[in-house]
Amino acid sequence: MSRRVPFDAVTDADWSNWRWQQSHRLRGLGELDHVFGLTDGERDTFVRSAETFLVSVTPYYASLSEHGNPNCPIRLQSIPQAGELLTYPFELADPLAEESHMPVPGITHRYPDRVLFYVTHNCPVYCRHCTRKRKVANPESASTKDEIAGGLDWIAANPEVRDVLVSGGDPLTLSDDRLGEILLRLRAIPHVEVIRLGTRNPVTLPQRITPELCAILRQVRPLYLHTHFNHPRECTPEAAQALRMLADAGCNLGNQMVLLRGINDDPQTVLELNRWLLKQGCRPYYIFQADMALGITHLRTPLSKGLEIIKFLRGRISGMGVPQFAIDLPGGGGKITLAPEYLVAREGSELVFRNGKGEDYRFYDVEP
């Protein structure tokens, strides 16, 4: 395998070892500059934003970037840009009011039947667009053993919870043993019918998907695994192999893309991404409108962009490749989905629909 400078001297054994990747994450200005070739503005922003939200990039993910290209989608997701320092009055530290819907620490209970369960606040790469910046990467907010035990007890005591989404941070940051304990405990709760795992490791640290981890996941299958690919540049042989191993372990794979300005706000890019995902057995589940989180307004797109992308996909890829376009409403309103408008006229029971090619078709509705 030929890797680019400065990773060309790393042995294959180290490179494919997730612990090596984790312990060699790029965090300092000097090493980031060496790999990415930072601009003056990025160096300045790095220094000024260091307090707000840590920078951390696995060597693997950094190696996917294009050195010196300020518009590289890998770079824009991992290196702070000047916009991160700007704050607006409408931005929220906790945009989804996750803290105020917590019956116990570490659980967000917003819908009657399902919960989010945070088991760690660490991730291999800190995505610049993260909605949970207030917690993620903050060592003082780490989930403790007691907190996780308390969360499991709460789920066991609340039979209306049928669906548990294990999240973070990134749950695969935990050791196999720790994660295995949590998943097996959940599986042993009779009313928990659905277990989901939200993880970006297939994208940022695919080496983490080992046969040992898969053996644990296989014990709790079926498991729904939501991952977070945002751009075709992330679609590598390593990522494909990680997805294949997860599918073989009984994971039902779904992707939650976040729509980001200058990164993937382009229909052709999303089409290419979704084609690759389907080929790997991973269904595009959601495209999320970026939240009103602190310091990410420069990455947000107008709502019309998401609708344009959904409309473009329909007809060019199977329905399985057309995700739902969702907004998670600020203040804890929950998720809603938006769809393009195909109905262009209505006269009584006669409806006129316009398809993707711009052609009109009449449809006669019946009385309710």
Ligand X SMILES: *Cc1c(COP(=O)(O)O)cnc(C)c1O
Question: Which are the catalytic amino acids?
Answer: 110-111, 114, 123, 127, 130, 132, 291, 328, 335
Contact status: 110 vs ligand X (CB under 6 A): yes
Q: Which is nearer to ligand SF4, 56 or 63 (CB)?
A: 56
Contact status: 108 vs ligand X (CB under 6 A): yes
DSSP 143-198: PPHHHHHHHHHHHHT-TT--EEEEESS-GGGS-HHHHHHHHHHHHTSTT--EEEEE
165 binds, among ligand X, ligand SF4, none (CB under 5 to 8 A by kind): ligand X
- How many residues bind ligand X (CB under 6 A)? The answer is 9
Q: Which is nearer to ligand SF4, 126 or 312 (CB)?
A: 126
24 binds, among ligand SF4, ligand X, none (CB under 5 to 8 A by kind): none
DSSP SS3 for 127: coil
Candidate residues 116, 148, 209, 235; the one interacting with ligand X per rule CB under 6 A: 116
126 binds, among ligand SF4, ligand X, none (CB under 5 to 8 A by kind): ligand SF4
Contact status: 111 vs ligand X (CB under 6 A): yes
169 binds, among ligand SF4, ligand X, none (CB under 5 to 8 A by kind): ligand SF4
- CA 349, 350, 352, 353 torsion: positive or negative? positive
Question: Which residues are CB-neighbours of 179 under 8 A, at least 6 positions away?
Answer: 119, 171, 172, 213, 216
Contact status: 114 vs ligand X (CB under 6 A): yes
- Chain positions 165 to 184 lying near ligand X, rule: CB under 6 A, are 165
Alpha helices (H) along the chain: 12-15, 18-23, 29-36, 40-49, 59-63, 73-78, 145-156, 176-187, 201-204, 211-219, 237-248, 267-279, 303-313
Number of alpha carbons in the 13 Å side-chain half-sphere of residue 289:
24
- The residues binding ligand X (CB under 6 A) are 96, 108, 110-111, 114, 116, 165, 328, 335
